[in-house]
Structure 1
Amino acid sequence: MKIKNINKYLILALIAIIVGACTSTEVDPKFDQTPTERLNARKVELNDLLLSSELGWKAVYYTDSTQLGGFTHVFKFLPEGKVDMASDFDDDTTIHRSQYDIQVGSTVSLVFTTNNRIHLLSDAANFPTASLLGKGYLGDFQFYYYGQENGQIIFRTNRNGHELRFVKATADDWTNLAGGVIINQNITGDATSPLFRLVEINDGSSVQQYNFDFNAAARFGIAESLTSNDSFNLALSYTPTGAVVKPAVVVKGQKLTNFVYDASTSNFVATGTGGVTATIKFTNTPPILTDDYKMMLPGRAANRFGYYPGDYIEDAPTNSVLFYEELENINASLPAGQSISSIQLYTNHALGNFIYYTFVGRAAIFHYVDVIEDAAGKKVILKHKSWNGNTTVAAPPFLASFDSHLTDPNGIYVKQENFKLGYTNIIYTLTSSSSSFRMSVWQL
């Protein structure tokens, strides 16, 4: 066949293909609508989804799991842009009504347009740590719609693009919020709870302990090994039975995420197989003990330490709730016009060792003590000798409870702090070994 005839047939074949494509009755649906029409269709799709769940939707919102835990929210979307919402952010787990909107921009987004529980996470004035000053909980109230999967609605957050999933809520999800608040209280503790936390990892053959520095407001903690440089983060969210951690704690290849609360021990325990466990527990013993107490021992230089209500030391983050409560009880027990003005501890003074209480409106009180070393426990015992030099009188009733923590027969721990408050004075913290009493003082 001649070359010009071959070219002729090729041209005819190409024309046939083009004509066939142009006359095909199959149309790609993506190009059957304008961009605006597609966005409006997605808007209707999302709104229908939100309204479709009889009991609403639940979302456990981790705004940033590298420094914050998760907060559970439950939503019931209603006609006319209304939404009922509850959360476990704080003790208020009641249902609040507000407005929502499905907005169309470059994509479709769900926006909670009037104030409700979700806005607690986006309020810049409400921040759980100093590093989040002016940033709040890094939360959003606008979420971009990315479709659905296995019955879940997929969003991405406005601020940082993190994925957030809404799952269909159950009746229990609404009532479980109150149970989560109780769990939060259990892991936070109260005025009488031990001050220190540990994470214990049991791999089935050995146990490793980690100091757990936990911020209850942030629901976040850092576990640092007591024997190595190993550390890991725990971002917590709460259920009625315990805490779920993110990321998982990996022990012998097993991923542990569900820490169940044990009321008999106040521990939170995640259980694997083969003896593998991870436990969050309270303890009265500081995970890291120091020799700072030795400066108070007989034969050392004279020292004076002081706490002054109303001065910078009052704001020390190391002062415990029980300490403040005991201080308030002293003032409440005194007659009108009288109040405590300082608590000072003198060791190796010319007059001996004594706790010196001063007041507004009444004379000072000396509690003389002996200083005894507990070398094994790395602590010091302040043993009672006399009140104002009289060995036969009992402690003044208004001081007895407060003073009993400083003269704990099991001793007190002493630690030099690495922060300053207002002045250049070194700060030490005195911690009872039998209670949650912890008091910070200046070295004077």
Structure 2
Amino acid sequence: MKIKYIFRYLVVASLMLHFTACTDTEVEQKFDKTPTERLNAQKSELQEVLLTSPDGWKAVYFTDNKQLGGFTHLFKFTADGKVEMASDFNTTSTPKFTSDYDIQLGSTVSLVFTTKNRIHLLSDSSPAAAPTAALRGKGYLGDFQFLYYGQDNGQLIFKANRTAGDSNSSEIRFVKATSQDWDDLSKNFLMIPNVIGSNVFGANRGLEIIDGTTKKTYDFNPYTTITRFGSYTDITSNNGIGIGYSPNGIVISPAIKVGDQMLSNFIFNSADGSFTATGTNGASASIKYSNTPFVISDDYKNFAPGQPQRVVGYIAPNLTAAQSNSVLCRNLIDKINAGLPATQSLARVQVVFNNAVNGTYIQYLFNGGKATITHFVTTEVNEANKTIILTDDGWTHNAATIAILKDLDAQLTNPEGLYIKKEAFTIVASNKIYTLANASNNGFRITTYQL
């Protein structure tokens, strides 16, 4: 072999050895600390960073976003192991309390609130603390030991020790708080009536998701304040969401995916009662009102002529305060009660469909000894509009007796018909809920049980 080729081979071999040596050195540098040393370094990091925010930290803690909402907590840590804390767990006040915290080493680094404070309200398992019967003995499923997972754009990332082993468990993010956050924490409570809603802006409430030019709509179902949990549904799906309050809106979990964006922060608009989360490139999600139903179901088919008998009924007092009753509905019922003697009131409005003897009829039942009044109707289906039309076919009483019912009855027998929808929620009793909405979209909607 010629000398020049031997020389080239030696140069290449030398370079390969050089690069291999560099690579080995880099690998060794990555593992130049033992696991204990790395945990101690992370502990020191957390100890230092907790003290770096002058006004402390804020976290909206969703303990279980499959059945519970979020609770805002403010923390201000001191170097001697004390933490000042406030939260919006109680819906009347946001007092500050001081307690102890510690940063502990185990298989990972943990922030532990070692003596009782506001965060412990979420882990109280006493029977009285349970928000629902299913959570008796479990409380709000909260924790007071948070496993530290590092930082992301100035935010501290934790997971609750109770759910850390669940791959679907939510992160708990601490963001730097401001003095305004402490001053405004009690304003979270002012948002509660807006989340509950009052239907003053429309008979129906829905979630509208827009991804550029594509729009999808859902019904936004009644919201439960004690759990801070709600849902939005269409014909095929029921999606639960936990809700946390803020002074100017709400934050939800899980976030709503719009295209490739995740939207979770909704701003309240007092002009129309809506909550809107805005992304980029035309992406948005809005909880809003309309007199037109957001979802029109095929449930009317089960009440059509020729089907078996079905009965649905509004029953006071169980359904009197139902959020799914529209303002117009409530006003008409109040008007009836105001026109009755003090000892009497409207007890029930029920529609009997397809009775084998009497066909279809509307019954008005009263408390206080007043006789039941019945309005017989004929029925037809408008397949195009997905409605059932009830048409007058005579009353059991004379015009003077039925006059007090005429305005409410006119909504049920309007010529445009009724939308009928089986709802995903229940109220007081376990009976299925059906809502009947005036298809003329004038703002009438009444809530009934399947009887």
TM-score over 0.5 for the pair? yes
Match of 2:122 in 1: 121
Output the CA distance in 1 between the equivalents of 2:347 and 2:276.
44
| Paired residues of 2:158 and 2:173 also in contact (CA < 8 A) | yes
| Paired residues of 2:303 and 2:354 also in contact (CA < 8 A) | no
Superposition deviation, residue 333 in structure 1 = 7.8
| Paired residues of 1:385 and 1:391 also in contact (CA < 8 A) | no
| Paired residues of 1:155 and 1:163 also in contact (CA < 8 A) | yes
Match of 2:113 in 1: 111
Q: Which whole-Å deviations, capped at 9, do the CAs of 1:94-133 have from their partners, x for residues lacking one? A: 22425334375746542153253x3343244555677656
Match of 2:23 in 1: none
What secondary structure is seen at the aligned counterpart in 1 of 2:399?
coil
| Paired residues of 1:197 and 1:282 also in contact (CA < 8 A) | yes
Q: Report 1:154-173 matches (<5 A).
A: 154-161=157-164, 163-173=171-181
Percent of residue pairs identical: 37
Output the CA distance in 2 between the equivalents of 1:325 and 1:105.
61
Superposition deviation, residue 170 in structure 1 = 0.5
Superposition deviation, residue 329 in structure 1 = 8.7
Q: Which whole-Å deviations, capped at 9, do the CAs of 1:22-55 have from their partners, x for residues lacking one? A: xxxxxx998999x9xx79x969984x76566443
Change (3 A) 1:139 1:304: closer
Output the CA distance in 2 between the equivalents of 1:197 and 1:318.
13
Change (3 A) 1:383 1:67: same
In the alignment, residue 435 of structure 1 is paired with which amino acid? Answer: F
Q: Report 1:31-430 matches (<5 A).
A: 46=47, 53-65=53-65, 67-77=67-77, 83-89=83-89, 91-97=91-97, 99-102=99-102, 106=106, 109-111=111-113, 113-116=115-118, 118-124=119-125, 125=127, 126=129, 132=135, 134-144=137-147, 152-161=155-164, 163-190=171-198, 196-212=204-220, 215-217=223-225, 218-219=227-228, 235-246=242-253, 248-284=255-291, 285=293, 287-292=295-300, 295=303, 305=312, 314=318, 320=324, 338=344, 342-346=348-352, 354-368=361-375, 370-371=377-378, 373=380, 375=382, 376-382=384-390, 389-392=397-400, 395-396=403-404, 406=412, 411-415=417-421, 429-430=434-435
Output the CA distance in 1 between the equivalents of 2:104 and 2:426.
52
Change (3 A) 1:293 1:365: farther
| Paired residues of 2:299 and 2:422 also in contact (CA < 8 A) | no
Match of 1:12 in 2: none
Gaps of 5+ in 2: 1-31, 165-169
| Paired residues of 2:275 and 2:286 also in contact (CA < 8 A) | yes
| Paired residues of 1:84 and 1:98 also in contact (CA < 8 A) | yes
Output the CA distance in 1 between the equivalents of 2:36 and 2:259.
54
Gaps of 5+ in 1: 1-27
Change (3 A) 1:134 1:329: farther
400-409 vs 369-378, which moves further:
400-409
Superposition deviation, residue 159 in structure 1 = 0.8
In the alignment, residue 85 of structure 2 is paired with which amino acid? Answer: M
What secondary structure is seen at the aligned counterpart in 1 of 2:185?
helix
Output the CA distance in 2 between the equivalents of 1:403 and 1:98.
60
What secondary structure is seen at the aligned counterpart in 2 of 1:186?
helix
Q: Which whole-Å deviations, capped at 9, do the CAs of 1:366-412 have from their partners, x for residues lacking one? A: 1425445461433335567877522245633xx67866765567643
What secondary structure is seen at the aligned counterpart in 1 of 2:163?
coil
| Paired residues of 1:383 and 1:407 also in contact (CA < 8 A) | yes
Change (3 A) 1:142 1:170: same
The structure with more radius of gyration? 1
Q: Which whole-Å deviations, capped at 9, do the CAs of 1:122-151 have from their partners, x for residues lacking one? A: 244555677656544321123345677776
| Paired residues of 1:292 and 1:416 also in contact (CA < 8 A) | no
Normalised by the length of structure 1, the TM-score is 0.66
Output the CA distance in 2 between the equivalents of 1:423 and 1:174.
41
Kindly indicate whether residue 446 of structure 2 is the aligned counterpart of residue 437 of structure 1.
yes
| Paired residues of 2:104 and 2:112 also in contact (CA < 8 A) | no
Superposition deviation, residue 355 in structure 1 = 3.3
Change (3 A) 1:410 1:80: farther
Superposition deviation, residue 189 in structure 1 = 1.3
CA-based RMSD of the aligned residues comes to 5.2
Number of residues paired by the alignment? 400
Change (3 A) 1:151 1:324: same
Output the CA distance in 1 between the equivalents of 2:307 and 2:110.
72
Output the CA distance in 1 between the equivalents of 2:346 and 2:285.
45
Superposition deviation, residue 165 in structure 1 = 3.5
What secondary structure is seen at the aligned counterpart in 2 of 1:159?
helix
| Paired residues of 1:108 and 1:145 also in contact (CA < 8 A) | yes
375-384 vs 55-64, which moves further:
375-384
